[in-house]
Amino acid sequence: MLRLTLATRLTLIVVVGFAAIAIILMTLFYVTSRREKEVARPSPARLAALATLIEQTPLDGRALVLDAVSSPQFAVRVGRADRGGEGGAQLAELRDAYAVALAGRAVEVTVPRATPNPRFPRVARLLAANALEFRIALQTGETLVVDARTAVPLTRLGLPVGFGAGLFGTIVALLALLVMQLETRPLARLAAAVDRVDLSTAAPLLPQARRSAPEIRAVISAFNRLQGRLSEMLRARMTLIGGIAHDVRTFATRLRLRVEQIPDPAEQQRAIADIDDMIRLLDDALLSSRAGAGGLSQEMVEIATLVRAEVDDRSAQGEAVDVTLEPSFTDAIVLGDRLALRRVLANVVDNAIKYGRVAHLRLSLGRDKVVVTVDDEGPGIPADRRDAMLEPFNRLEASRNRATGGAGLGLAVARSLVEAHGGTIEISTAPAGGARVMIELPVFRAS
């Protein structure tokens, strides 16, 4: 879809509006001016009467008669039998119509040659197109010349009346468009500023443009208030989560110390595992809320070292985890939070082992990105469930049964952390049929 800026839209509205007005006016002009041309054309009876009158008037009274019937739109003079402008086909038709009324007098209807207007030749031609010249051969042997034309009022400059007004209007309209552009620019700046807003820091407020319209100033200050409320809310939420995390951890520590007094060792192991799960869930929630608030740290993390550490830890616990480095892989560095990235790996590998028995990790290097692929040998994840798996509290089996897995936060947390690092995570199918999770992270290069 074509995206138009507000200024372009307003401009288009104005232009289309003006075009519509112009078309309507021009239509009206054509309709009326055709009628006017006909009106301007003297009736054949009038010319016949005039010819008869001139023929009957004695020579000394002729000047009076000519003066009496002449007007700027209907100039009458008597001359010798010379030829004026050129007659066209259409005019010949017109001449035949007049010849009938003029009772046998020869008549020529021509378009007169334009009276030259040195300053605006175009205007002169326009006026001439409107005019007709009748040459009627009188019975006295003279020629009666009648110049009929529609009056087009001209200003002192020789231009039609209204031309100046139109020109002035056009200039004003162009200026208005320019001003409109200037007026809508604060909106574009506002949008850019809103995009730059970082709620995690003490937010710098958006600049208030002093000269913009009250509405735009109102929008900017509304945004500033909203930003203030949001960062206040975010801060409150972080404080709340931090407080809860601290307290829960304190309770968990007490509980963990008390667990020593459970006499049955199997029961004791289960209790310890429960506490560990609980703390992990808490850490996950804490990390992903920090990721959402831009609270992650940024350090240079060697991704291969991180992956190897995870694999070594898992192998030491007897889990089936291995890693392959593609030959092209060099020491890629990702700028990010070490703990968060480790958590991403841990969660994805956890999932692979829990549902697919083993985790095969593979590291490869794409253009400006490092790709970590984790394949398992389980049943895989159906294509229509893959996106849902990356949402919180979504697990492949609908029952929220903790015996077969976690709360369903693992991949959702991984996704929010990966996205906070500017990367992507997606689920597909491994070549062997199991599930494949592919994590892409941007590679950092010191400039």
Partner 1 sequence: MTTPSPTILIVEDDPEISRLVADFMRREGFEVACAANGKDMDALLQRLRPDILILDLMLPGEDGLSICRRMRAADTIPILMLTAKSDEIDRVVGLEMGADDYLVKPFGPRELLARVRAILRRANGTPARPAARRYAFDRFVVDLDSRSVELIDADSAPPQLTSAEFDLLGCFVLRPRRVLTRDQILDWTRGRSAEPFDRTVDMLISRLRRKLEATSPGSNLITTVRNGGYLFTAAVKQVS
User: Which positions lie near partner 1, rule CB under 8 A?
Assistant: 198, 245-246, 249-250, 252-260, 272, 275, 279, 283, 297-300, 335, 337, 339, 446-447
Q: Using CA atoms, how far apart are residues 413 and 421, in angstroms rounded to an integer?
A: 13
Q: Which residues of 157-173 are buried (b: 16+ CB within 10 A; e: fewer)?
A: eeeeeeeeeeeeeeeee
Find the shortest distance in angstroms from Cβ 292 to partner 1. 17
Minimum CB separation of residue 208 from partner 1 in Å reads 23
In terms of CB distance, is 67 or 331 closer to partner 1? 331
Taking the complex as a whole, the smallest distance from the CB of residue 341 to partner 1 amounts, in Å, to: 12
Would you call 116 helix, strand, or coil by DSSP?
A: coil
Looking at beta carbons only, is 320 or 335 nearer to partner 1? 335
Give the rounded distance of the alpha carbon of 7 from its chain centre: 11
Residue 102 has which token pair? 């003029």
In the complex, the smallest distance separating the C-beta of residue 317 from partner 1, rounded to whole angstroms, is 16
Minimum CB separation of residue 258 from partner 1 in Å reads 7
DSSP string for 232-277: HHHHHHHHHHHHHHHHHHHHHHHHHHHGGG-S-HHHHHHHHHHHHH
Q: Of 252 and 325, which CB lies nearer to partner 1 in the complex structure?
A: 252
Closest distance of CB 417 from partner 1, Å: 13
- Closer to partner 1 at the Cβ: 99 or 275? 275
Tell me what percent of the chain is helix, strand and coil, each rounded to the nearest 5.
Answer: 55, 15, 30
Q: Between residues 40 and 205, which has the closer beta carbon with respect to partner 1? A: 205
Question: 52: which residues sit within 8 A by CB, 6+ positions away?
Answer: none
Give the nearest distance from C-beta 275 to partner 1 in angstroms. 6
Query: In this complex, which beta carbon is closest to partner 1, that of residue 78 or of residue 259?
Result: 259
- State how far Cα 288 lies from the chain centre: 33
CA 111 to CA 236: how far, in whole Å?
89
Would you state the structure tokens that stand for residue 181, as one six-digit string?
A: 């552009």
Q: State which residue, 1 or 202, has the beta carbon closest to partner 1.
A: 202
Burial class of residue 424 in the structure, from the number of CB atoms within 10 Å of its CB (0-12 exposed, 13-18 middle, 19+ buried): middle
